Structure 1
Amino acid sequence: MRWDVMLIIAGASLVTLVPRVLPLSLLSRVELPEWSMRWLRHIPVAVMAALLAQALFVPDGSLEFRPNNLLAAIPAFAAAFFTRSLLLAVMVGIGTMFLLMRLG
């Protein structure tokens, strides 16, 4: 392998790793106030909602409504809500989408 490719891979790895590891290592040593901990608990839900909304309503870069996407999201949401399992929710969503594509 060429050295310039190796340097590019190493640089990309560093640029990807530093923003994830640095805040984690710094914040793990600090006691955060209660209000910030309450605020931080909402971030995963907000990120997931944004990703889900984009996948459901803007699948190809423009606003579009696809009924199969919404029909697959409903059982996946129910699985996530009742089991709190991301793996099960993803499996239910993929399975439902598979069935909808095969039937329609």
Structure 2
Amino acid sequence: MDKQILIIILGTAVVTYLPRMLPLVVLSRVRLPEVFLRWLSYVPAAVLAALLVPGLLLPDGKLSLAANPYLLAAIPTGFVALKTRSMALTILTGMVAMVLIQR
């Protein structure tokens, strides 16, 4: 293997690993305020919403509320996700909903 490629691989490994490990090491020794921990609990839902909403509401790059199969399939899928908390059942519901809507 070329020495330059090995250096690139090791460099990218360090750049990927450090931002994940440093906060873990530093924050494991500190008692975080309750308000900060509560704020952190909303981060996963906010990230999920940021990833899903553009795909559901803007499938072709413009706002589409009528005749939007993605939005229609998201309704039963979201309901199943909230009621069952089952990843497998939620994915299955979304797939079945899309098949039925696209018929």
TM-score bracket, shorter-length normalisation? 0.7 to 0.9
TM-score by length of 2: 0.76
Q: Equivalents in 2 of 1:71, 1:46: separation in Å?
A: 21
Q: Equivalents in 2 of 1:21, 1:35: separation in Å?
A: 23
Q: 73-82 or 85-94: which moved more?
A: 85-94
For the structure 1 residues 86 and 14, does the alpha-carbon distance in structure 2 shift closer, same or farther, using more than 3 Å as the test?
A: farther
Deviation per CA, 1:9-63, whole angstroms, max 9, x where unpaired? 3222222222222212222222111111111111111111111112212345x23
The residue identity in structure 2 corresponding to 1:12 is: T
Matches within 5 A, 1:17-56: 17-56=17-56
Structure number with bigger Rg:
2
Q: Equivalents in 2 of 1:95, 1:8: separation in Å?
A: 44
RMSD: 2.3
Structure 2 residue 56 is the aligned partner of structure 1 residue 63? no
The number of equivalent residue pairs is 101
Q: Equivalents in 1 of 2:29, 2:14: separation in Å?
A: 22
Q: Equivalents in 1 of 2:55, 2:97: separation in Å?
A: 15
Q: Which runs of 5+ in 1 are unaligned?
A: none
Aligned residue number for residue 6 of structure 1: 6
Q: Which runs of 5+ in 2 are unaligned?
A: none
Structure 2 residue 74 is the aligned partner of structure 1 residue 73? yes
Aligned residue number for residue 16 of structure 2: 16
Q: Equivalents in 2 of 1:29, 1:14: separation in Å?
A: 22
For the structure 1 residues 21 and 79, does the alpha-carbon distance in structure 2 shift closer, same or farther, using more than 3 Å as the test?
A: farther
Structure 2 residue 102 is the aligned partner of structure 1 residue 96? no
